[in-house]
C-alpha cells in the first residue's frame, strides 16, 4: 500500500535558521507530490506541488522542495524561517492519474519558530 | 473566490448518537472529498465524489458512516451511531478536476464522549 512518511514530528527553530523537513513515500510509479501547510486556526493550504519537469519546485513564502526520484523523497526547505512560519506541515502524494486525485498524507510535522 | 464551507465548526455528542456534517465546495468544483484527521495524524480519505457519483469509498466504515452528494454540489457526511474513536476533525475538500490541488475547508471538530 502507498504510504508517506515524515521524519520529524516536531521541529523547533529560532528565527533566521534554515529549515528542512523530510518526506519519503512508497510508490514505484508516477507520482504527484504536494506540501500543505496549516497555520494555527486555519485550513490546510497548498504550499507547493510537483507534477513533472524541474524537480526543484518553488512555492509560496520562500519555500521550495526537491523531488529526488531515486530516494523517493520530496523534502521541504526554507533558507531562513520566520516566526510566522509556525504551523503544521503535511507532505502528500497522489499516486498517478488513475488514483483520481486521492491524496495520501504523511502524519505531519509541527514547526515552532521562536522569535 | 469563496472557499470550501463547512458546518458546524464544532460538535460534541455522546457515543451511540448520530451526527451530520455539511460541506459546500468551491463553485464549479466537480470533485469533492471527505477526510478524517485524528489528532496527531495526517488526514485520511474517507470518500471521494466526482459530481454526484462515488469514486472511492474504500476507507469509509460503511456500517456507521454514510455520505451523499445530491445534485453534485453540497455534500453531507453522517455518522450513526458514533463511537469514541470517531473523535477527529472532518475535512471537506474540493478540486476543479481530478489530480488538481485540493482546496480544504476549515473542518468540523467532532468530540465523542
Percentage of chain A beyond pLDDT 90 is 74
Indicate the pLDDT class of residue B99, thresholds 50, 70 and 90. Answer: low
Nearest CA in chain B to A97: B99
Whether B42 and A42 lie within 8 Å, measured CB to CB = no
C-alpha to C-alpha distance for A36 and A46, rounded to whole angstroms: 4
How many CB pairs (< 8 A) connect A and B? Answer: 64
pLDDT in tens, A28-54: 778 889 999 999 988 899 999 998 899
| Residue A11: pLDDT over 90 | yes
The Cβ-side half-sphere exposure at A47, using a 13 Å CA radius, reads 25
C-alpha to C-alpha distance for B108 and B91, rounded to whole angstroms: 7
Contacts (Cβ under 8 Å, ≥6 apart) of B42? A4, A6, A90, A92, A105, A106, A107, A108
Strand partners, B111: B12
CA dihedral of A25, A26, A28, A30, whole degrees rounded to 10? -40
Average pLDDT, chain A: 91
The pair phi, psi for residue A97, each rounded to 5°, is -60, -35
Peptide bond into A62 cis (omega under 30): no
Nearest CA in chain B to A92: B42
Is A100 in the B-facing interface, judged by CB distances under 8 Å?
yes
| Residue A98: pLDDT over 60 | no
The pair phi, psi for residue B47, each rounded to 5°, is -155, 145
Strand partners, A50: A33
Whether B99 and A100 lie within 8 Å, measured CB to CB = yes
pLDDT in tens, B6-51: 999 999 999 999 999 999 999 999 999 999 999 989 999 999 999 8
C-alpha to C-alpha distance for B77 and B75, rounded to whole angstroms: 7
pLDDT of residue A27: 82
Evaluate the CA torsion angle B49, B60, A104, A22 in order and state its sign: positive
pLDDT of residue A103: 87
C-alpha to C-alpha distance for B42 and A109, rounded to whole angstroms: 9
Do A63 and A78 touch, CB atoms closer than 8 A?
Answer: yes
C-alpha to C-alpha distance for B77 and A64, rounded to whole angstroms: 35
Percentage of chain B beyond pLDDT 90 is 81
HEC sequence for A52-64: CCCCEEECHHHCE
C-alpha to C-alpha distance for B65 and A65, rounded to whole angstroms: 37
Give the distance from CA A4 to its chain's centroid. 10
Distance from CA of B18 to the nearest CA of A (A): 25
Tell which residue, B61, B48, B54, has the closest CA to residue B93: B48
pLDDT of residue A89: 98
Amino acid at each position: 500500500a502507498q504510504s508517506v512518511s515524515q521524519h520529524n514530528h516536531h521541529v523547533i527553530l529560532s528565527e533566521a535558521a534554515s529549515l528542512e523537513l523530510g518526506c519519503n513515500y512508497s510508490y514505484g510509479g508516477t507520482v504527484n507530490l504536494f506540501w500543505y501547510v496549516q497555520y494555527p486556526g486555519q485550513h490546510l493550504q497548498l504550499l507547493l506541488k510537483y507534477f513533472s519537469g524541474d524537480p526543484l519546485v518553488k512555492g509560496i513564502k520562500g519555500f521550495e522542495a526537491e523531488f529526488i526520484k531515486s530516494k523517493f523523497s520530496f523534502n521541504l526547505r526554507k533558507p531562513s524561517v520566520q516566526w510566522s512560519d509556525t504551523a503544521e506541515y503535511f507532505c502528500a502524494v497522489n499516486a498517478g492519474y488513475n488514483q483520481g486525485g486521492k491524496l495520501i498524507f504523511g502524519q505531519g510535522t509541527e514547526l515552532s519558530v521562536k522569535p | 473566490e469563496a472557499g470550501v464551507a463547512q458546518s458546524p465548526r464544532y460538535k460534541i455528542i455522546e457515543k451511540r448518537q448520530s451526527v451530520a456534517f455539511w460541506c459546500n465546495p468551491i463553485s464549479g468544483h466537480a470533485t469533492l472529498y471527505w477526510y478524517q484527521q485524528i489528532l496527531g495524524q495526517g488526514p485520511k480519505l474517507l470518500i471521494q465524489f466526482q459530481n454526484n457519483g462515488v469514486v472511492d469509498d474504500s476507507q469509509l466504515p460503511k456500517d456507521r458512516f454514510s455520505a451523499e452528494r445530491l445534485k453534485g454540489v453540497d455534500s453531507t457526511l453522517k455518522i450513526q451511531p458514533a463511537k469514541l474513536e470517531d473523535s477527529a476533525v472532518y475535512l471537506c475538500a474540493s478540486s476543479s478536476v481530478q489530480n488538481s490541488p485540493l482546496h480544504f475547508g476549515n473542518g468540523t471538530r467532532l468530540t465523542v464522549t
